[in-house]
A and B are shown apart, each in its own frame.
Chain A
Amino acid sequence: MTLFEEGRNRTGPATLSVDAVVVGLGAGGSMALRQLARAGVSVLGLEAGGRHTPAQFNQREDEMLPLLFQDGGGRMTADLAIRVLQGRGVGGSTLHNTNLCKRTPSAILEQWALDYGVSGASAADLERSYAAVEADLSITEIPEDAINGNNRLLQRGVSALGWRGGVLRHNRVGCRRSGFCELGCAYDAKQNAAKILVPQAMEAGGRVFSDARVDRILHDGSRATGVAGTFVDDAGNATFPFEIRAKIVVLGGSATGSAALALASNVPDPYDRCGRGLRLHPGSVAAGIFEQPVDAHRGIPQSYECTEYLEFGRGAEKRVWILTAFAHPIGTASMLPGFGAKHMTRMRKYRHLAVFSAMVHDETEGRVIAGEGGRPLLQYAMTEADRRQLAIGLRACGRLLLAAGATEVTFPAIDAPTVTTDAALNALSMDFIRPHTLAMSAVHPMGSMALGDDPKRSVVASTGEHHQLKGLFVADGSLFPTSLGVPPQWSIYAFSHHLSPHMIDAIKR
């Protein structure tokens, strides 16, 4: 029996019966797959994307964006206001993320318990799972000598202003500091789901089909009984159908994919909660020009953070996380304002650019709906309160850049204002900071199938099992009732780890 089968090579349909089937092999799905396999149950993981190896990661944007990202890197909210970058393939977004690791703050977990009826998920309850992930993924602080030019400038700005900041922790071992993390690691230094968890799952007897797109969850209205879908070829075209019968179905297809699949499958939803509560951590950037080359595209990205404007928990008034952002030429060209010759003149300052990002710990509640063919459509209209937070954050980014020595600062907006002094920045109207005027992006979709013990306010119980459809579990970022304000990957791994005993119990029921 082959433990890993690439669906693109299938020559016929498949029908299988297993104890558990996991849909989507990003951080959460891969962790569930491993935990279930180690528990000795028969488990099959299904991933719509392909199986990618470091040898494929050639550090070219034009080839890696279509390979590693949903919709070729062009996924947008339905109103085309926010670009949403999500991974595709065995490993999901852990293939292309920058390896940031932070735990969910205890104030957020307390808020979930008090306001959202989440039980058994305090910081103490989760400690064992966070620690297990920390060891699995070798999470460590970035060494001081590995802070690159862009992050060094953020550090300098934080120091000059006397603000809060610090060095970040990542899951990387043997890093070559090439700066191509967002295009997949050619040096296999990312200690991610694809490198660590999926192989461990297979060592324990777990099976995987890549290129296997699940189209619907099978159920009888009260219990999940499996999934059905189609294998796809290199071009994404459907080839042969498959049907997997299982005692439990675990959703790990992300906060957008899992909810869309549940909705397309007519999973019972009597209180109309499925798909609601989508958070994105939407953000944008400020770019500073420096006299000396910064070469921000080289070295480890996002190794330093500024937390001066970030608080957590109910009623938090500062909700912006500031860190560096940088892209290679295509990503940079997409973010810089304008087009044509003027745009190209801006692009010529590429090596002299430092870019800081403001990411909103958002309150806006978006919604996932199942679009044509079951594909997720993301409705997200940013609230005025969140827009104000973004304005605060981008002004702060501007101050940091100027404090670090930038000769001018600009923003990715139509008729972008350029400022050269603190006084001009303080006087600047921030009215341009709004969707469709300012280029915005998001890399952390969360929510949409939230945890909680009240079926009227949540989709799954605090065990991770669906309130109405027994045997259906969620193990990805869909679970979070609010945004985290920190990068979610460590928490997604940890929650999947934390909930896996309930999955095993359900199989034995």
Chain B
Amino acid sequence: MATNDAPERPAGDTAGASVGPGRLSRRTFVKAFGAALLAAAGGVGLVRSRGYVKPPGATLLALSASEYAIVSAIASRIAATDGVDMPSAEEVGVARWVDGYVAAMDGPLRRDLLRLLQYVEQLAPTAVGYASRFTRLSAADQDAVLAGMEASRIPLLRGAFGALKGCIYLGYYRDSRTWKGLGYDGPLLGRTP
């Protein structure tokens, strides 16, 4: 029986082999992100870090203005609607909710998520051929960037996309205005099950 770090199967016997290239640890992945982001900061980051508008309303709890803008842009595409009967991510306030969710995360998780946001903004567009940062792309181009992540050849990027998607849908489908279109009648408390 093989273990994660000590596959003992002879060549040709795949019964105990690990599936896919999932051997890159999260730590390595995060370090790679970090290195890539440092490079980005040294090269283009300084000229690409301006122009984010401070969000209206209450003070942000965990996100910076730029991170808030990135989350807003991602949410508008992941939770894009297919009809007028569903509210938009902006109407639901997904980015504001994610801000609170991130504020409640412990340090390492929060750090990883914020790095992922910077990856989407700064590097993911280049992976599918765009020179601009994510928040400045058209909706169709943003969809192409996200689809590129979802189907990336790098397994960890696919996993990271799944985590990001889960976070956005948590912020979107929490709102009772989204339930009617699904036929979901919500919590039963106070009613007879």
Among A81, A298, A333, A380, max chain B CB count under 10 A is at A333
User: Are B107 and A340 neighbours in the complex by a CB distance under 8 Å?
Assistant: no
Q: Which residues of B contact A328 (CB under 8 A)?
A: 184
Is A133 engaged at the interface, CB distance under 8 Å to the other chain?
A: no
Q: Please give me the residue from chain A that is nearest to B3 by CB atom.
A: A365
Of B17, B97, B162, B186, the residue contacting A439 (CB under 8 A) is B162
For window 221-264 of A, CB contacts with B under 8 Å fall at: 235-236
Contact indicator A330/B160 (Cβ below 8 Å): no
B83 to A: closest C-beta gap in Å: 8
Q: Of residues 325 to 345 in A, which have CB atoms within 8 Å of B's CB atoms?
A: 328-330, 333-334, 338-345
A62 within 8 A of B: yes
Given contacts A341-B82, A382-B19, A383-B19, contact A79 B169 (CB under 8 A): no
Q: Does B81 contact A (CB under 8 A)?
A: yes
Q: Is the CB of B18 within 8 A of A382?
A: yes
B188 neighbours in A (Cβ, 8 Å): 59, 178-180
Contact indicator B101/A66 (Cβ below 8 Å): yes
- Decide if B158 is an interface residue (CB 8 Å cutoff): yes
Are A178's CB and B80's CB within 8 A?
A: no
Within 8 A of B (CB), among A418-467: 434-437, 439
If A178-B188, A385-B16, A387-B19 touch, whether A78 touches B25 (CB-CB below 8 Å) is yes
Q: Is the CB of A65 within 8 A of B170?
A: yes
Q: Is the CB of B16 within 8 A of A383?
A: yes
Given A178-B193, A381-B23, A434-B19, CB of A375 within 8 Å of CB of B3: no
Docked complex: B20-78 residues within 8 A CB-CB of A: 20, 22-27, 29, 77-78
Given A78-B25, A80-B156, are A365 and B2 also a contact pair (CB < 8 Å)?
A: yes
Chain B neighbourhood of A366, CB < 8 A: 4
Interface: B127 (CB within 8 A): no
| Residues in A neighbouring B178, C-beta threshold 8 A | 329
Tell whether A329 pairs with B159 under 8 Å between CB atoms, given A379-B5, A435-B22: no
Chain A residues near B179 (CB-CB < 8 A): 329
Closest chain-B Cβ to A430's Cβ sits at a distance in Å of: 12
Query: Which of A31-39, A119-127, A161-169, A347-355 lies on the face that meets chain B?
Result: A347-355
A362 CA / B106 CA spacing, docked (Å): 30
Inter-chain CA distance A345–B108, complex, in Å, is 35
- Complex Cα distance, B109 from A213, in Å, reads 18
Partner of B2 from A59, A65, A377, A383 at Cβ < 8 Å: A383
Residues of chain B lying within 8 A (CB to CB) of residue A58: 187, 189
Among listed A69-77, A99-107, A201-209, A283-291, interface-contacting one? A69-77
Check A384 against B14 for contact (C-beta < 8 Å).
Answer: yes
Q: How far is the CA of A196 from the CA of B166 in the complex (A)?
A: 34
Contacts of A385 in B (CB 8 A): 15-16
Whether A363 contacts B1 in the complex (CB less than 8 A), given A339-B146, A345-B82, comes out as yes
- Measured CA separation A44–B143 after assembly (Å): 53
B20 partner residues in chain A, CB cutoff 8 A: 434-437
B156 touching A74 by the CB < 8 A rule?
Answer: no
Query: Cβ of B105 and Cβ of A72 under 8 Å apart?
Result: yes
Contact across chains for B17 and A344 when beta carbons are under 8 A apart: no
A60 at the B interface (CB under 8 A): yes
The docked-state distance in angstroms from the alpha carbon of A330 to that of B178 is 11
Residue A172 CB within 8 A of the other chain? no
Q: What is the CA–CA distance of A377 and B25 in the complex, to the nearest angstrom?
A: 10
Please name 29 pairs of A and B residues whose Cβ atoms are closer than 8 Å in the assembled complex, sorted by A. A62-B171, A66-B104, A73-B170, A78-B25, A78-B27, A79-B22, A79-B24, A80-B29, A180-B187, A186-B189, A293-B183, A298-B193, A333-B172, A333-B173, A334-B169, A339-B79, A340-B79, A340-B143, A344-B80, A344-B86, A348-B183, A367-B3, A375-B106, A377-B26, A377-B27, A382-B18, A435-B19, A436-B155, A436-B159
Instruction: Beyond the given A76-B163, A414-B158, please list 4 additional residue pairs across the A-B interface where CB-CB is below 8 A.
Output: A79-B156, A339-B79, A365-B1, A379-B5
